[in-house]
Structure 1
Amino acid sequence: MEFFVPLFEVIKCLWGPTSRYLNQHRKLEENVNDLRRKVNDLNIRKQDLELKKEAEIRCRKVVKKEVENWFETVRSTNVEMEKIEMKFRVVSYFSRARLGRFVCRKIEEVERIYQQGSFPEGVAVDGPPATGVTLLTTDLEGRMDVKEQIYEYLRGDDVGMIGVCGMGGIGKTTIMKHINNQLLKENQFDAVIWLTVSREFNVVKLQEDLACALDHCLPKNKLEWPAVLMEILERKRYVLILDDVWEKFALSDVGIPEPASHNGSKLVITSRSIEVCNSMGCKVFKVQPLSQAESWNLFLRQVGDGVLQDPTLKEHVNLIVGECGGLPLAIVTIASSMKGVDDAFEWKNALHELRERVTSVKGSDTIIFEHLKFSYDRLRDSKIQNCFLYCSLYPEDYHIEKEGLIENWIDEELIDELENRQAMHDRGHTVLNKLVNNCLLEKVMIDNVKEGVKMHDVVRDMALSIKRGDHFMVKAGTELEKIPSEHKWKESLEKVSLMNNSISEVLLISPKCPNLSTLLLQKNYFLEKILGSFFEHMHKIKVLDLSHTGIWDLPNSISTLTSLTALILRQCRRLRHMPSLAKLTALRKLDLFNTDIKEVPHGIEMLENLTYLNLYASGLKNLPMGIISRFSKLQVLKAWLNLNGEEAAKLRKLEILLGAFHVLQDFDGYAKSLSSQWPTKYWLRVGSPKTGYLENLPRFDNLENVEIDKEVCFINCKMGNEDFVVLSKDTKTLTVEHCRNLKSLSNISLFCEANELKTCTISWCEEIECVVDLSLSSCNSLQNIEILRLRKLWNLHELVRVAAVASTSHTPTPPGIFTSLKEFYLIGCSSIKKLFPVHLLQGFQHLEHIEVKHCKKLEKIIAEDDEENQNVDRRGSITTFAFPKLKTLHLIKLPELKSICSSGVRIPSESLKYLSIINCSKIRKIPFSISLLETGQPSPLSLELGYVHPKKWWKLVEFDDPNANDILSSLILDYSSEEDEESEPDDSDQ
């Protein structure tokens, strides 16, 4: 029996594998069928997930990586299943068990893959926001139904091209602006592109605008443009809105793919012509006029509910609303012009005037022109009306910068001459507001920076209809390549606008235009030459604008235009030769900014009526003595020339001055001669900059366009003698560069009385030891400084030097030091070791931005005084919080920096948005603190970008607050680019 027990155990051990082997051999067919069912179930789940995936993609979501990996795994499983099927069909008797074993393993694997494909949290995440521009919108009264219909078609697959048609002013553009914004908000497309086509259709301009919207540079060869644009758009799911299309065109000529259901992209055009929409194969939506009730509601929103108080008034209002014909533009414009009118007789008269206009004309465009002209007539003031009409000289749908427009009105003498230029600008803004409030102009933003206005295209058409024919010739922005032929220049012409075209030559013509007062040729970049005979019969011309052209020289016939009051040649970079200006004694404005002239034009001294003179030209070095003082009426002087101080001080009407005094004594003489009568705006450079200074400025072109607001810049001056240098008390920006003998700003007389100083920059001053020396004087001006920049001050040891005191208890806190400071920069100051003393911290309560870079010896950002060092133990656990509003902290390449804060000082980090600590490897402790919520949880941080380097150092530093360690470390990225080894800027940097 004892023999059989081991034998039984051996048989038992062998039987398990043998049994499984026989089972896999015998049940191969059954297992393969089971595997087929499970793979089929797997593919059904895959199909369901693919439907979900497609739905999510249509909503502009991005499929998760794990889902894509799962799809790839299923695809591999199907390939292996095909191989198993092939082997099963040809398997030999002796190989069945081995194949069966593989099939059993595959069954388990497919079951696992099936379970992994559940994805309870969905298959996709939110994608990046759609690219596009959110547009300003107005009321959508009575338009919601058609807007929703269009929107539903954009979301569906049935229609690729939509045409929105209706007469001018009916609300087509307003509807589509609302849809544009909704599409951007709901984020279902990669891009929502808005392009205004306008009446003068031009394929090249449309392609350029489309490329700009797609943020893509087109190749030099224009023949390649359609293919390039087509390729870009085919990779996107987009909505392209073409506003104000006047004629049919082939999409392929532009480079626009034909929208189709398979790509999900859409094209919408708005047009006044239903034929255009139909001919381009669009699903057409015709916008109908508003009903009487809708018209009434829209009118009341503009004019106000006050008209409902008087029953008689209400009756007249109701009749005027009826006369508007349901046209939103007419309703809004007329209502705006009647706002504030509460006299029934005036409303009755308005109704009479409106009826008289509308019944006397025919044609839809003409009818709405008469509605709009009613509002134009109600302006009453002819100068305001002419200001409005002037806006029609710009291209259609052009965004007009406000300040530039007002300057043009002043040049045209449309603004009454007041006591100063600022008063005229104020008057100009008042006129603009009146035109906007009467809905004759619309507010816009230019590049999201400057305020501007634009004319609705129908309003512009109305304005041109008033002056069309023999008075205005407007071909602005129409891609003209040649000047209009001579027969088109009528003798009665008053204003001609050919701006923003591609005119490259002025033919041998001599237009007979004895009444022409304005000729606008700006932004014809290829225009190089004008023949002298062109101006021969334009003796009454007052405003000539040739700015932004490629003109080389002006014809001598310019010298005979004795009525000329404004000659504008800005950015004519090739212009070198100027004819004599001696006879142009009526000239009030001469603008030669960024031309290539080398000498002051001959005869300029005769222009005693000048109120505006811009001589900012990099090649112009000197201004002959005695000339400036002849321009006693000057209000604006901009010149990068050496000004004589006493001579410049004689310009008592000067309001804006951009200029240079090569010698400190000249500036001193100017300042003392002015006493308290400084210009209202100035940017003054004092001293002789090093060779190449201009070229090293960010861009000379933009220097004259900086925001001018009471700035003085000292460059390469000897400033040790405090008897010199008198600053105006209202100086807001002070810059000091390469100045010798200057130990601190306290050496500059009246610096401490410049109580409105907001920005101070000191650079490359080798002898500066401190910014302010309170041992010399108190300094009230520091309490208003908001931005302080210190760069390449190699001998700087401290920010503020405090007078020695008898008491040894602690250093006194100077009153009003840096209490308004928001931004602080310290770059390349190689001697300073300690930055902010603890006793100055109470002055930095508003500091938001700290940037410290390339300071070789800096050891501490916030440092205790020696006496405070001795009293650390006495302070015990008291914590001082520094920089409570800090948003940005950049500490870059500070090899000796050991401490950000002294013991017991912490920096709250709730408001911190940007943090970088790069190559500061001696720091051992991070002093950020995070407050706790009532729940005991740490407050959330607003950190958007955080970089540290090296990462291994960051892992070793200690934190005063453990919560800060946990939260900050999860948000910090390793700054691993080559810039982490950025070298200190060269000492010769300008």
Structure 2
Amino acid sequence: MGNCCSIQIGFENFLLRGWVCVVGHANYVCKLKQTLPTLSAALQELRAQRNDMQREVDVAEQRLLKPFEQVQLWLSKAETMITKAEKLIEDSPRQMNNLCLGSCASKNFLSSYKFGKNITKMLQEINDHVSKGAFKKVAESRPSASVVVRPEEQPIGLESTIEKVWHCIVDKDVGIIGLYGLGGVGKTTLLTQINNKFSTTADKFDVVIWALVSKDYNVEKIQDKMGGNIGFRDTSWKSKSVDEKAVDIYGVLRNKRFVVLLDDLWERVDLNKVGIPKPSQENGSKLIFTARSLEVCGEMEARKRIKVECLEPEKAWELFQAKVGDETLNSHPNIWKLAEHVVERCGGLPLALITIGRAMACKTTPMEWKYAIEMLKRSTLPKMKNEVFPLLKFSYDNLPNATMKFCLQYCCLYRDDYRIPRKELVEHWFCEGLLNEFDRFSEAQMQGDHIINSLLNACLLERAGEDYVKMHDVIREMALWIACELEVKENNFFVKAGAQLLEEPDAKTWEGAKRMSIMSNQMKVLRETPKCPNLRTLFLRENNLQVISDGFFHFMPHLTVLNLSRNYGLEELPKGISQLISLECLDLSSTGIRELPIELKSLTKLKMLDLSNMLFVGKMKIPRQLISSFSKLQIFKLRPLINRDYPDEEEDNVLNGVNENLIKELRCLQHLNVLSIPPIKSVFALERFLSFNLFRCSIETLELEEFRDSNVFNILCLENMARLEKLCFKDCASMEEIKIEKLLSSVSSNINYISQFHTLSHVIIDGCGKLTDTTWLIFVPNLRFLSISWCFKMEEILSEGKLGEVADKVGIPYPKPFLKLEMLKLCVLPELKSIYWDVLPFPFLKHFCVWGDCSKLKKLPLNSDSAKGNHITIEGRKDWWDEVEWENETTRDNFIPSLRFPSY
């Protein structure tokens, strides 16, 4: 009985549990009509939350933030849930059709039961997921810079420049850095190295952005290139306006520490229009760009401007060797030496070295290399014409006008590596009519200087010392290629400068030429009578000319510039020179001519006559009334002048060489702008010469030599020399003081005489044994070059006591001296103790030389700030350097890298 009772109770429990189970399963079916709308509502809420969060993540990524992994996981799960829920809702009509008996039963109970259960489960999952999606932040700042590493070649010779740029990057004061240089010099390679270096450094920049700008600069193109770097990739953003894109880019970058690299700028890029916040010390961001012109660096307000130079010979060879390969270089014993000649022709320009190196990689015979060298000389090597010249021509094409382009071509008339005097170049341009903005040379010189500076800034010319420029070999070849091939109809250049010619070119060669240069050859005689109906320029300088036939100049009716300088064996001009009725520039400097022919009178258009450095000083004759016949003459160079111009004059004349008759003739030249005179040797001669306003206003260089009639020189006697640039005191053994008498006597007028010497930039004092100081230099505000030598009693350059006296009497403080000084040379000044009694900034000083006995000069007006940027080079003997006293060891150590010991 007990067993039966037990069995019965167990069965009842089973039925009860089964009933509950059936009822629960039935609920999945019965409540289906209610749960489906609830699920739809929950799905709508999940979608909205997903969309909102995805937008937050997108904005964060555009702002270069990194989304949290939990957020990414939530979004991923939400996406999966939405897909499943949408599928359930999509299947719901079919399941609802199975319901019957008031939706409490189903024609297919099992199917409806499973569907209802999935609906309930999905609803619960969605509710749980929505509750977990309440994130305070969706992203964080990225731990390191976002850099797209660019393909690169191993740089050769750029290492020091890379370090220089990187030094500017870590300098908080430098926000904008401009890298400029010749086309093909390696600027893009350098910028690529900088870009990739950010990927391996710990510098905390949020993003590094690269954009190629190029010649066809367009704001929108730059924006699109930048946009891809900061998350703006969809087509809808690209369809926005320039202003809208600028706002978006600015919104991303304004709170970030960024680096923007812009490659190949040809003109100013307006950062505001692009949307780039201006880098500053506050935001710590950087803008680094490359350009071919220094002017672009200025327009972009670059805080630091770094010129990318051509390679030094050793590095140039290393690059060329890497491209040619040792197998080729060693394939014949003679090739190595020939390859060195090729490298030399490339002038250290990486583009030329790489291009020619690759072209020669399979040339294994000496004849092939000799041919390549010859083609390089003629600017006809195919690789240069097809790959190198066109790239360089972009810089030429970008010059603002035809005049500047032709002025560049004009430089090709000088031979390779020639140091072209700036003034000579401007003088020739003026006589050629290229500087047509002005009629007077003194004004045209400003235009000429502007053109030269523009060509320098465009890296199409190079500085070669203070007063000289030169053309890079490859630039010269490019310019000749343009002049002789592309623009032959306009200019028709014929250039055989430095070609080792023993005889003049064939007469037929001259017929079509407009500009001709056969300078720096070995011609002795010009025998031909060439017919040159179009010739305007003829360079015959630096030959061995001894004879020019009388008929040589007969058929050159339009010749404007004739340069015969540095033909020391040329003693006579042919009478036929009278046929050059269009001649405006005649350069006879450094020739052996003994007499100017009277036939020169027919050269009525002459604007420039250069008779300086004539070989036969005391024997050359100038016919009377010849000089005065050149009524249009603006430039007349006479120094060093001969003693006896006129045969009947006494030797002891007022200017030790310039007699009264010649002075009278010079005074007739109403257009005279530039007059070069010999050293003046007495106060009387100086006063006599300066009594003529025309002379005062036309002298640029004045030498006072061997003054013996005065021990005091009043510098203000020169105050009205409007063009004085260079002043020399030489061997004035009796001169004890150079003073400013007028200034000291004009107490009531309170006049500052600094402006009276604003053109003076060069001062040389040599062999003035009694001078004790040069305090007057305080009133030369634009002094750039100062040389003082062999002054045995010189104690101070600037005297504190004398300057104090000037300030007290005049009632005005004296200015800081040497603010524009670039070079200071001191030589054999055994008593010199002081340059200046206080520290000076020397913002432009580049070279400071102390030579010979200057043993008492133990204190220099320098401190650690004077060496900032390490731009000063100090040259001096080691024994002097060891005795210099510094304010502290740190200052001394700062200048050690600047020190150079002379090689002698």
Task: Give the shorter-chain TM-score range.
Answer: 0.3 to 0.5
- Between Structure 1 and Structure 2, the one with more helix by share is 2
Q: TM-score, normalised by structure 2?
A: 0.46
Higher relative contact order (CA 8 A, sep 6+): 2
Whose Rg is larger? Answer: 2
